[in-house]
Structure 1
Amino acid sequence: MAESRRQSLTIAGETIASVLMRNASEHGSDIALREKERGIWKPTTWAEYAEEVLACAAGLDGFGLKPGDAVLILGDNRVRLYCGMLALATLGVYAMPAYPGTTLEELQHFADEANVVAALAEDQEQVDKILELRDAGATLLKHIVYDDARGLGFYEAPGLISWEHLVEIGSHRLNSEPGLREDLLGRAKPDDPAVFLHSSGTTGKPKGVVLSQKNVLAAARNGHAAGAFDFGDEVLAYLPMAWVGDYAITVAAALLLRFTVNVPERQETVLRDLREVAPTFYLAAPRSWDNLLTTIQVGIENSTPLKKRLYHLFLDGAVAAERRKLNGMSAGALEPLVRFIGEMLIFGPIKDQFGMHRLKNAFTGGEAIGEDTFVFYRALGIKLRQLYGQTENSAINAIQAPDEVRLHTVGKAAPGVEVKIADNGEILLKSDSVFAGYYNKPEASAETLSAGWLHTGDAGYLENDGHLVVLGRVAEVMHTKAGERYVPNFIENRLKFSPYIKDAAVIGAGRDELTAMVCIDFDVVGHWAEVNGVPYVSYADLSQREEVATLLREAFLRVNKALPEPLQLKKFVSLHKEFDPDDGEITRTRKLRRTVVEDRYQNVIAALYDGSKDVHVSAVVTYETGETGRVERTLPIREV
């Protein structure tokens, strides 16, 4: 059945442009996009979407853009930036989205990597970055198109042009040049680029990942066949445009299955906009689900005593029931009735408050999610599921089915994806959604792609019924001095199941025991401190409080219960600052750069093993303004 659903979406030779034009022709008056501006949702139909994309493509084509060129896309989610990405795919040009907080050094790496000849920028802040990049030597970057004109009225930089002017130029060309429209629509082929993304860069500079139009459309078909989403879904486009998950859902699946994509006003308004949209599909990283859970719990604690009692009465029962289901036990006789009453009084109003009452498919991915968080949402009536994906495979590898949810697996391989396990325990994949290789890196490509199989770099195993278990990175499989094998990322993720721990780094390769450095979640711990009357003046101060150390120790004890004795964590340090992508300690998707962290905190690691009671640190930190400062602190070495 799933395979037939997948095949029914397959049309030979289809491209981004052909799918877009089919939607415009057959469903032209349906809403494709909505963007919130100054509190008002402004709709765009499929017909309008297609015309905007073609006008943009004609305008960029008039600038001389050609296959092999690359265009930077900088900013938060905006309708015009999505239009620009589709226009570039129509021209066969690399659309290269970057995270809004990308530094000049990172942009310089992108400019050195490919022929970056133009940029699409959201606003003045991003235009300033691009101009700085050009001043630093990116001489090929001649054209800069901006969406939001505020603050740019007096800029006189060469090549700077508004989106409106670009579309005006393109529309004029489409109307005055016979055959141009057909020419543009027929240029791109299935193997031509859809988007130019980057690997996370945990072990070095991010590598370029070019996904073809065949790749991304195949992934969308696979996801649909696996039951991840369906025709006409309503989604909120809030994930970073440089993350493969956003492209897979907001662009590829949205085109193929005619989603209505809602673009929030600002990242700061996402929760409010989420409530207004009430999407039917929602994908979020575990940290986002954790943050939302914290918001719900804080709201309950600030409510009336009666509401709190009702909440705990029904939720505690629902959590227990959900755990029984996950363990394969049947429901009690009164469970449906209690569930119905709980839905009316507690669960329904909470879901309505956060815009989740219409959710048909809710997913978490990117890393492991905490058991308590996962069970909470399922108890609330949100059928949260796990999926496993990578940039190199267009984001969709394995998905849990609604009736086959297990805490320790990521589900079965999606239809259209083959999975096998190599002799060394590495997960291998084969699918039409797998990329052709890293951009201009033949050696890295040869290591990753072999005999038609994608070497994911992840360690895992298949259960007898085909469910996939992901343990962590193969390259991060380490051994203690006694030869005990462990995966630090596996332990770190379980430490981060605690709402009080934002990041963690487990140490122990070649040593007698395992220890860890952790970074508190300032918002969550700060709220806990306020509720419990614990004074503090800064992150560095709060992170070293004895009361906070008690919270952290509880998290360590809980993780140790699930670990064999030789791998239990013995000591820890609560760091004086968060791991920061601007400091190179984590990637933009918050993956640990282990070598950087271990090098930067050598003295802290030494103190964890030499019997010291504390360690003095002096660190340079980078602020949001780009300025740097120095933090001096003495950190206690604490026993678990």
Structure 2
Amino acid sequence: MDTTFPRLLLQHAAHRPAAAAMREKEYGIWQALSWAELARMVDHLACGMHQAGLRRGEHMVVVGTNRPRLYATMLAAQALGAIPVPLYQDAAATECVFPINNAEVRFALAEDQEQVDKLLEIRPQCPQLSTIFYDDPRGLRNYAESGLSSMDDLMAAGEAFGREHPGFLQGQVDAGAADDVAAMFFTSGTTGQPKGVVHTHRTLLDRAQAGAEFDKLTEKEEVLAYMPPAWVGQNIFSYAQWLACGYVVNCPESAGTVMIDLKEIGPTYYFAPPRVFEGLLTSVMIRMEDASAIKRKMFHAFMDVARRVGTAMRAGQPVGALDRVKYAIGNFMVYGPLRNNLGMSRVRVAYTAGEAIGPDLFTFYRAIGVNLKQLYGSTETAVFVCMQPDHEVHADTVGIPCRDVQLQVSDSGEILVKSPGLLKEYYKNPQATAEVKDQDGWYHTGDAGFLDAHGHLKIIDRAKDVGRLADGSMFAPKYIENKLKFFPHIKEAVALGDRRDMVCVMVNIDFDAVGNWAERRNLPYAGYTDLAQKPEVYQLIKECIEKVNADLAADEKLAGSQVHRFLVLHKELDADDGELTRTNKVRRGYIAEKYQSLVDALYGGKTEQYIETQVKFEDGRTGSVSATLKIMDARTYPPLKAAA
């Protein structure tokens, strides 16, 4: 698209001024903001930021949750030719130092007191950070820091400037071009220091439009913006596609009200990483376990019908008349109320991306009538590379290349991509840019996979993570971990086995699901660490692992990757402790190094191992958690083909 984000905003404001652009829930009430009101807000902010000294080509940090005024700030910065850099609102203060210094940031917008405190804490390490604006004034009345001021003051100054210079915003927007840098997103830093991914207006909007065309999105869609704006997925769905299509973006009141807000809005277009769908399914299974025996029996009976025929019906395949009747009854009795409870009654298209989703989890949602599909992409590709057409959805593929995308599989099995959505560069990192983007314009994804006979892309794992066991069997850790995480009692799993003689797993239990399970069995516990080491819990996890082993035994390539030994970790893996990225991906290498004593115990044949781990609390204090962890063997099965 030969346009820019601010230009699209002004077009919507001119053609549909009274139409809702965004809604924000405040004090339990949804407040709508029209396109004309949003354009006026952006005008005031742009004028105010220009007066404050923000200039074309400069970077501006934006840190907070999804809020109309934060979106307006990004648009205002882009209108001036500046480059918004969204940061994760749950990142520790020290994690913000590198991006701010790397991008030489002078200006920042912080949502509230928590984010202001974070930026003030690191200011001595970021001396160029001279100006901090804040949105929510609560708790900030008595702050007397230099360069700290409210958005209200900024907008008031901008409004006065705008009256004196009535064509200022339009002139600034007209000076912008599609190939100007629009935004910079920092990668999660799974393997080291994060990298700033530079995208232009053209790359982001081209991919946003390609995705919109693929699913026939219109201005009538409703979207709930609840993921971190710093994640490129959220940014594409709730910012780039929002401006490309002109639909309504809804901002929840808080993280704690997302499920209620989801039901109230009833989005038509929904996007979430697998962990959100896992969490929703876990909450469903917990509630079903608390239901009466009759309801449980009805639920499981109709779910059997859904798994057998639901996906076939959604794919337009022939299904017998009796099964159609059973499914229709199930839809009235179970699936419909369940979709409503999940806030997905009106969902026309739902996507999951960010990492691979377990096939069982994927099938569950499609079976109950949710049009859940997978897409493939990354921060560097502006998300949209492959998408699944409505009647060609398979749990084990991520779809076909979308408009103008070329795919190639290298001799080593790595997926290479050519697309109009490729990053311009990694900021100030030409070496890293050259490593992923070759002279012929191919982007090296780092993912291992292949195109199947129908032209659908199948991802096996990260290329660097796919390994071999000592006997030469393929080892795909993410595949194993996803199968384990389908069980509501398992929140995270870390599979180990590359170049070793067997696969071992470290498991995080889901505290809510297992806690509910324990309470119904009158099993007392004193917290996560105590519950995790209960013999009954180990037996529960062992049963889950053995079911996965039985599934793996039926897979010719992965039968050798069955889990032989496991332990349940004494603490939840946490991004604050460096064990997960801010997008909640497991940092497998870091974990193996941090818990080396546990890895040695698993492979050394021990039955228990003492461990003490330092942890960081939410208030910034540090402490330690210690426990003697049990190690248990799991039953493995002979490969089915060999048995036959």
User: What interval of TM-score do these two structures reach, taking the shorter chain for normalisation?
Assistant: over 0.9
What letter is aligned with 2:595? Y
For residue 92 of structure 1, give the secondary structure of its aligned residue in structure 2: coil
C-alpha distance in structure 2 between counterparts of 1:49 and 1:102, whole Å: 28
Q: How does 1:563-602 map to 2 (within 5 A)?
A: 564-602=558-596
Larger deviation, residues 254-263 vs 381-390: 381-390
Change (3 A) 1:565 1:217: closer
For residue 470 of structure 2, give the secondary structure of its aligned residue in structure 1: coil
Residue 29 of structure 1 deviates from its aligned partner by 0.8
| Aligned equivalent of 2:322, options 325, 334, 337 | 334
C-alpha distance in structure 2 between counterparts of 1:231 and 1:345, whole Å: 33
C-alpha distance in structure 2 between counterparts of 1:374 and 1:342, whole Å: 19
1:625 is aligned to 619
C-alpha distance in structure 2 between counterparts of 1:480 and 1:460, whole Å: 19
Q: Deviations over 1:53-92 (max 9, x none)?
A: 1221111111111233222211121111111111112222
Structure 1 residue runs of 4 or more that deviate by more than 6 Å after TM superposition: 326-329
Q: How does 1:102-501 map to 2 (within 5 A)?
A: 102-134=91-123, 136-227=124-215, 229-322=217-310, 330-450=318-438, 451-501=440-490
| C-alpha contact 1:146 1:163 (8 A) present in aligned 2 | yes
The percent of aligned pairs where both chains have the same amino acid is 41
Residue 138 of structure 1 deviates from its aligned partner by 1.1
| C-alpha contact 1:228 1:361 (8 A) present in aligned 2 | no
Change (3 A) 1:474 1:95: same
Change (3 A) 1:278 1:62: same
What letter is aligned with 2:279? N
Q: Deviations over 1:281-338 (max 9, x none)?
A: 1111111112112222333343445444443343322222125569996311123333
1:502 is aligned to 2:488: no
1:74 is aligned to 63
What letter is aligned with 1:612? K
TM-score (norm 1): 0.95
Change (3 A) 1:593 1:271: same
Q: Deviations over 1:316-367 (max 9, x none)?
A: 2222212556999631112333333333333223322332211111111122
Q: Deviations over 1:477-499 (max 9, x none)?
A: 22333333323223222222222
Residue 382 of structure 1 deviates from its aligned partner by 1.1
2:640 is aligned to none
What letter is aligned with 2:144? E
Residue 531 of structure 1 deviates from its aligned partner by 2.1
1:4 is aligned to none
C-alpha distance in structure 1 between counterparts of 2:226 and 2:170, whole Å: 33
Q: How does 1:597-612 map to 2 (within 5 A)?
A: 597-612=591-606
C-alpha distance in structure 1 between counterparts of 2:134 and 2:541, whole Å: 46
Larger deviation, residues 34-43 vs 589-598: 589-598
Larger deviation, residues 265-274 vs 112-121: 112-121
1:33 is aligned to 2:22: yes
Q: How does 1:504-543 map to 2 (within 5 A)?
A: 504-543=493-532
For residue 296 of structure 1, give the secondary structure of its aligned residue in structure 2: helix
| C-alpha contact 2:314 2:369 (8 A) present in aligned 1 | no
Residue 230 of structure 1 deviates from its aligned partner by 3.4
Which consecutive unaligned segments of at least 5 residues does structure 2 have?
635-644
C-alpha distance in structure 2 between counterparts of 1:311 and 1:491, whole Å: 27
Q: Deviations over 1:243-263 (max 9, x none)?
A: 111110110000111110000
For residue 395 of structure 2, give the secondary structure of its aligned residue in structure 1: coil
The count of residues paired between Structure 1 and Structure 2 equals: 628
Which consecutive unaligned segments of at least 5 residues does structure 1 have?
1-9
| C-alpha contact 1:33 1:44 (8 A) present in aligned 2 | yes
What letter is aligned with 2:126? A
Q: Deviations over 1:584-619 (max 9, x none)?
A: 111011112233212111111111112212111011
| C-alpha contact 1:57 1:184 (8 A) present in aligned 2 | no
| C-alpha contact 1:229 1:361 (8 A) present in aligned 2 | no
TM-score (norm 2): 0.94
Residue 168 of structure 1 deviates from its aligned partner by 1.2
Larger deviation, residues 454-463 vs 554-563: 554-563
Residue 216 of structure 1 deviates from its aligned partner by 0.9
Change (3 A) 1:483 1:301: closer
Larger deviation, residues 489-498 vs 20-29: 489-498
Q: Deviations over 1:111-148 (max 9, x none)?
A: 221111111111111111111111x3211111111111
Change (3 A) 1:351 1:481: closer
1:7 is aligned to none
Change (3 A) 1:228 1:393: farther
Change (3 A) 1:247 1:324: closer
Change (3 A) 1:540 1:442: same
C-alpha distance in structure 1 between counterparts of 2:216 and 2:620, whole Å: 41
1:86 is aligned to 75
C-alpha distance in structure 2 between counterparts of 1:479 and 1:116, whole Å: 44
Change (3 A) 1:204 1:637: same
